[in-house]
């Protein structure tokens, strides 16, 4: 009899624990610059600013690129430490990681950090992801309990429906942490620029999705239960052909590999003897960019302690780009990947829910601090090797 009573108590305690576990929905608007929310186009974000927490800006890690920063947000680590140093790079065996290569993106060996859904899983918290870099790994222990394979053209309504479906699962099956991703402000920003009618229209559409999402959450009776965090991975700045740097001419006569993303660019000579010669030429011609040996990178970038980083690193001035290493015509009107201390590279951070303060405005927050924030909300221990610091962000919680 005592055995059965013990079993019943164990089950009841488990149900109570599940019922008391918070809900967090983490939403990313790719490329949503810090000031896009100040254009009078975002009534739903304005409402969250009054009801919850809003930051002046949200500082990305360097480089200010999509995949590295989504991993920094979800692991609390700088790219040099979580391993995803760019959207495209090679390891020491010349194997390639590329966001367009599904097999590579799903291969666990590239990911050195522990994503929050891994930490949550170890603490018996169910998680889900409607898109997030690193959420589709082939190792089932390293991905969310529920996830969707990325589909760039999937309708927004279907994504929202998917989130609501997860939140209405039976309590024992329901995820308490969910990620949701939208690419639109990044795609339209690149195509049309940051001051275009097209980007303004996209900003308004993204904001309307927040309204739809909050209304749907209210209709399922979870308005007071779900903590909503809305952020972006990086900002955006306009570029033009008039501000192109002809890197091909600068490297003329040298045999070297160039990993260029228009902004951050890395160079590896084929022959070691050419390394100082290439550096000297780039240094003497230094105009509208800075050149560094990897080991001389300023500490504030946190971008030197990884073997996949090439020996020479170039960082252009904001709005200048190494266009000559891209194929075809000048296809982009705006770019990111620049110095993450530049305000144009900053994104947004808004949060609302029973865990967050009301009507609280703060200064700039750092994206590596989101992982420890999530751990604090769920009352679980973060990994000890992270770069994030709960003391830099804990004050936004009640």
Query: Which residues carry out catalysis?
Result: 66
Burial class of residue 362 (count of CB atoms within 10 Å of its CB; 0-12, 13-18, 19+) = middle
Whole-number Å distance between alpha carbons of 246 and 154: 38
* Strand pairing class (349-352; 226-231): antiparallel
Give the sign of the dihedral formed by CA 38, CA 40, CA 42, CA 45: positive
C-alpha distances (whole Å) from 59 to each of 52, 151, 170, 237, 284 are 19, 27, 37, 15, 32
Do the beta carbons of residue 190 and residue 30 sit within 8 Å?
Answer: no
**Do the Cβ atoms of 236 and 334 come closer than 8 Å?**
yes
Q: Cα–Cα–Cα angle for 64, 67, 69, nearest 5°?
A: 45
Residue length of the chain: 398
Edge-to-edge strands, sheet with 289-293? 256-260, 265-269, 312-316, 289-293
In order of 150, 238, 370, the CA distances from 388 in angstroms are 27, 30, 7
């Amino acid at each position: 009899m005592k055995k059965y009573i013990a079993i019943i108590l164990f089950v009841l305690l488990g149900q109570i624990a599940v019922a008391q576990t918070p809900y967090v929905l983490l939403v990313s608007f790719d490329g949503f610059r810090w000031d896009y929310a100040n254009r009078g186009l975002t009534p739903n974000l304005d409402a969250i600013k009054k009801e919850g927490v809003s930051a002046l800006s949200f500082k990305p890690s360097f480089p200010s690129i999509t995949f590295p920063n989504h991993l920094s947000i979800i692991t609390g680590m700088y790219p040099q430490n979580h391993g995803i140093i760019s959207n495209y790079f090679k390891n020491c065996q010349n194997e390639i990681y590329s966001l367009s290569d599904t097999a590579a993106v799903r291969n666990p060996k590239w990911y050195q950090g522990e994503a929050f859904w891994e930490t949550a899983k170890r603490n018996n918290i169910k998680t889900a992801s409607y898109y997030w870099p690193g959420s589709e790994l082939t190792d089932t222990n390293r991905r969310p309990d529920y996830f969707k394979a990325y589909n760039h053209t999937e309708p927004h309504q279907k994504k929202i429906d998917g989130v609501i479906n997860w939140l209405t699962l039976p309590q024992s099956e329901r995820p308490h942490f969910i990620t949701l991703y939208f690419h639109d402000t990044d795609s339209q920003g690149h195509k049309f620029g940051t001051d275009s009618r097209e980007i303004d229209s996209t900003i308004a559409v993204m904001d309307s999705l927040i309204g739809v999402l909050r209304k749907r959450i209210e209709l399922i009776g979870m308005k007071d239960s779900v903590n909503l965090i809305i952020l972006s991975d990086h900002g955006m700045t306009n570029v033009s052909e008039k501000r192109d740097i002809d890197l091909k001419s600068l490297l003329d006569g040298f045999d070297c590999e160039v990993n260029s993303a228009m902004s951050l660019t890395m160079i590896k000579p084929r022959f070691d003897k050419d390394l100082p010669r290439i550096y000297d030429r780039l240094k003497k011609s230094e105009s509208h960019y800075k050149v560094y040996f990897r080991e001389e990178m300023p500490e504030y970038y946190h971008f030197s302690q990884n073997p996949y980083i090439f020996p020479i690193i170039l960082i252009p001035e904001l709005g200048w780009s190494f266009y000559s290493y891209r194929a075809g015509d000048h296809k982009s009107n705006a770019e990111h990947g620049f110095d993450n201390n530049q305000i144009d590279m900053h994104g947004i951070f808004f949060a609302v829910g029973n865990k967050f303060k009301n009507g609280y405005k703060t200064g700039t927050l750092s994206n590596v601090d989101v992982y420890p924030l999530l751990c604090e909300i769920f009352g679980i221990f973060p990994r000890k090797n992270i770069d994030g610091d709960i003391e830099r962000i804990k004050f936004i919680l009640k």
